[in-house]
Structure 1
């Protein structure tokens, strides 16, 4: 059946309902449908179909999804926070079929060696998860076959559009600072940290590869799989239970962003039944809200929202985590064909970008994971050193920060001169801060009570102060550097050694080695002030329905069953009990693969043979 915006006539009951069409949801839907053509599956997605959308398929156009009028994102408004200079932060997440994989920057990055092990859950160690990481990919880059797959649905390439000139320049600057250059940061080798020429979820012909394109569309376009149904532009309100607390269906509604709904004294609510199972895959911000509206959560939260308690699971919506993110822009002498600034600034059309190849460019060519030296740890102060001792010192596989370079200014181009820039992104890998998200009423339209928790712990501020200093030292050692863009940097005292500069030639022109900038306590205060005003999300939300014991605030068990009810699973990034030192796209795919396997085993489909050509690297 093709993707529709309403349930097909007569389809009021299916075997499995998947709530949410993001990364993990698409993986589960595609794997189950391919494993058994007789298994009737319905996936309900709140946003639009991503197929044929040029802003999805053309890599360079991904920032268009972050414009205020975008319908391809779901925008969550957080509480005003004293830790963020009294900001009410607006956090967007992917809001269309394919979820974050349809709107992200397409960077390929796996969890580190110890990340899955730290979850301390049987069946979820790194050794257990590596086969799923290999299964999902057709990997065309450096690294051995023992670490990577060559016939999975998701194409990972290293020869898509990239700017070698700036890539090489950035890597030599990294080496000057003493960080290693590694062929494959995703090989799960212990202690393997450094920088790499980044892989991308972009096809060899220069188009984005997302979860829907990889796992769902091939089956929807194949008459051999009429069992897979996808309903877009419809919001799941709650899961329905019978008297035994078994999930037997869902209540949903048309999304008014896309559908003209006749005025009525009552909100339109529709239902569909599930014979075998309901799977919630609405992401770390959406999934806990669905569970709470269904009566699964803390009794205090449910009472305030006028929801009868089905199961007392107090951990729902707690433990919210993300990767804190900063973007640091720099001036450069690059030509228009070497950055995406002309395209984003409106001086180059998408058609022109297609002719010169920039339309297939993500802007990001280099990515790395790094740790401070022991001396740098001491310089961050005794409180940070205590945190380092407890969380990092004895685990050489844990980076403190992730860095990525982008050949463009990322932001509102009307605010900066019509020139060329490069930007360094700094991402905290394991922030200590925690937040939460909870419902305030019984319907999906009721705004949630959301606290990001960003910077509520001072050690997280210290991480980003260190990240700023490293990013700036890298930039200063590149040949393309021409100073800082004031709009995107702290305001230092005029007589500070850290004062911003505007250059005609690179600092490296003299051939002399550069000394690092020496920052005073006053300089650090200026950095912290700027950070609190500007720190934001890396779009890596997780952990709000954690997989750990119920007594410890857990929401699901090792088989992803929700505590206190039956026939209900959660399969998405909300189940992560702890963070991962990586962009979370591949983690979401891996959770989807593991979740699909768990369901297939429970249904007796684990040994089912997939048809040739289905869900492999040649099915696109």
Structure 2
């Protein structure tokens, strides 16, 4: 149920889940903070009627909000304080001093309410890396099991030659656990996808029938978190919370901003969480936890709450004026982020192979957008066309000098290891990343986006655009997220340290090679016959140096930040163990993307749900 403050303040719940998208409280067995994964945990824990779960959510409930439910509403969400925290990074030295926008969902369901819907899974090697880094029980098999538990896949009834799948790699409603998240292909595709695939095959990049198998090297189709009956967004709030809102033991308080976790010190020096301080209606409040506190506030705010609670690096805490209760230097470190941009082209042909080409351009035209909103319920129009074609590939697939670049990278890192430049955790991560490069594990991504990623200055009803998106998914740069103040209402200092060139240039050079490859792709039959001129970056950007400088000015985050509360051994800079328990505490867990120790080669929505599902079983003692 959605509660008021009198139903929560000074009360005791078994479990508190912190969703800092504002704050939600749940009565259950575990006290933690959550975002997307938080509602998963709260829902699964409250299946046991004998426990109480409280979810504290910093944002509003936003249930049944059409601005969330309708796909294609990114322009409504981003930088809108009703839906987005509006985080900014510190100025990035290696990005021409840019201050990056770092959007995150504010409201029940977290970023699953404002993301770009894509549901895909990483290559097996990325998940097995979790276990290789010291986390028993975290591998491809566990991820596959728990992601299927969340996914309720519906097969397509159109374009079946293109929209391929294999049900043995999908979650369906016939499984033993209810699968809450509707996943399907959009009802409309741009119709440029087949030619895109043919052009890719010219370069030896083959099509994959079902990339959810753990083998992702090639071009595949991806589904989205769309309800096939309504064509509306499925997300944590309407998939995990709304169907269970009537449970007497599940309580949610919105507009509750967590300030810190209340702890007591035990004789052996560990901390035990006893409650949570939070701000609601401009006043300070407290709620008590009898079993656990679960932090699911996301990669940005989970480390902030730990540090505000006195858990972290003493240098950071002392500078912010926070009492040190538990020295844990890994909090807020090892931050990694996917980066992306794209090359935009105008579409020349509006009919391809007898099929009309559909893009999202009309949604950027104030005169045209209402027409397509009216068409949405029928499954037609620009709101129902979505990205389905993704390609994951290693550097050697797009770069003729890949071997030379990789040897230089390897020599540089191995030299750094010999000189003890890296701590033990980063050394092990780099060794795995080098192994992935040698084994041609796909670390890069190309997307066929049926829209321009930059809004035209003068939208023209007679023009259509596509973007050949490009993404870096296995960055070598590492950053930090730390508090700069003891004020819980102030945003943390986000420094992803993008394109760090202290040791290597692999991150920026990989993206340069993707730009060059996408340009080749656009000039390859039969894809080239559908495209007109390049709109961005345009003909004035040609040399590697020019492309790199352009990227530094335009690249954006993909909102897949990981690592700030890494699941690693304590001696390797870990914050949580394989049971997701914060080191030196007895009952504080972290359940969100911040625990991912090494970023993965995919979009992260399915991974986030899987983390929540596996965490629920851990807390219940099932595993």
Q: TM range, normalised to the smaller chain?
A: 0.7 to 0.9
Matched with 1:212 is 237
Answer yes or no: is 1:466 the counterpart of 2:513: yes
- Report the CA distance shift for 1:541/1:362 in structure 2 as closer, same or farther (over 3 A): farther
Match of 2:424 in 1: none
Q: How does 1:217-256 map to 2 (within 5 A)?
A: 217-220=242-245, 222=246, 225-244=247-266, 245-254=271-280
Query: 5+ residue gaps in structure 1?
Result: 262-267, 493-497, 499-522, 608-620
Q: 1:101 aligns with which of 86, 97, 112?
A: 112
Which position in structure 1 is the counterpart of 2:181? Answer: 154
SS in 2 for 1:165: coil
Q: Deviations over 1:190-226 (max 9, x none)?
A: xx41111221111112111111211111000x3xx11
Asked whether the equivalents of residues 18 and 42 of structure 1 are also in contact (C-alpha less than 8 Å), the reply is: yes
Partner of 2:125: 114
Counterpart for residue 342 of structure 1: 362
Question: How far is the alpha carbon of 1:351 from its aligned partner?
Answer: 4.8
Q: Is the 8 A contact 1:378 1:385 kept in 2?
A: no
Q: Which stretch has the larger CA shift, 373-382 or 469-478?
A: 373-382
For residue 349 of structure 1, report the CA deviation from its aligned partner: 3.0
Residue in 2 aligned with 1:32? 45
Q: Is 1:364 the counterpart of 2:405 in the alignment? A: no
SS of structure 2 residue aligned to 1:59: coil
- Deviations along 1:104-127, whole A, 9 cap, x unmatched? 111111121111211121111212
Structure 2 Cα separation of the partners of residues 154 and 277 of structure 1 = 26
TM-score (norm 2): 0.84
Separation in structure 1 between the aligned mates of residue 372 and residue 126 of structure 2, nearest angstrom: 43
Evaluate the alpha carbon distance shift between residue 184 and residue 47 of structure 1 in structure 2; reply closer, same or farther with a 3 A threshold: same
The answer to whether the 8 A contact 1:58-1:359 is kept is no
Contact 2:8/2:253 (<8 A) preserved: no
Taking a change above 3 Å as real, the CA distance of residues 166 and 302 of structure 1, as seen in their structure-2 partners, is: same
2:202 alignment partner in structure 1: 176
Q: Is the 8 A contact 1:437 1:449 kept in 2?
A: yes
Runs of 4 or more, structure 1, over 6 Å off, are none
After TM superposition, the structure 1 = structure 2 runs for residues 268-307 of structure 1, keeping only pairs within 5 Å, are 268-307=283-322
Partner of 2:443: 400
CA contact (8 A) 2:580 2:615 kept: yes
Aligned partners of 1:167 and 1:366 also within 8 Å: yes
Q: Which of 45, 51, 59 matches 2:71?
A: 59
TM-superposition CA deviations, 1:529-587 (whole Å, max 9, x none): 10111122010011101111111110001101101122110001001111111101111
Matched, 1:491 2:540: yes
In structure 1, the partner of 2:88 is: 77
Could you tell me which residue of structure 2 aligns to residue 196 of structure 1?
A: 220
- Structure 1: distance between partners of 2:279 and 2:458: 40
- Alpha-carbon distance in 1 for matches of 2:519, 2:115: 25
Report how far residue 423 of structure 1 moved.
1.0
Q: How does 1:304-383 map to 2 (within 5 A)?
A: 304-333=319-348, 335=350, 338-355=358-375, 357-358=380-381, 360-361=383-384, 363-371=386-394, 372-373=396-397, 375-378=400-403, 380=405, 383=408
Instruction: Determine the structure 2 residue equivalent to 1:390.
Output: 434
Shift of 1:359: 5.7
Cα deviation digits, residues 156-196 of structure 1 (max 9, x gap): 212x322252222222222222211111111114xx41111
Separation in 2 of the partners of 1:490 and 1:228? 57
Q: Give yes or no for contact 1:78–1:451 (8 Å, CA) kept in 2.
A: yes
Aligned residue number for residue 189 of structure 2 = 163
Query: Could you tell me whether the CA contact under 8 Å between 2:274 and 2:288 is conserved in 1?
Result: yes
Q: Separation in 1 of the partners of 2:602 and 2:181?
A: 18
TM-score, normalisation: structure 1:
0.84
Matched, 1:579 2:592: no
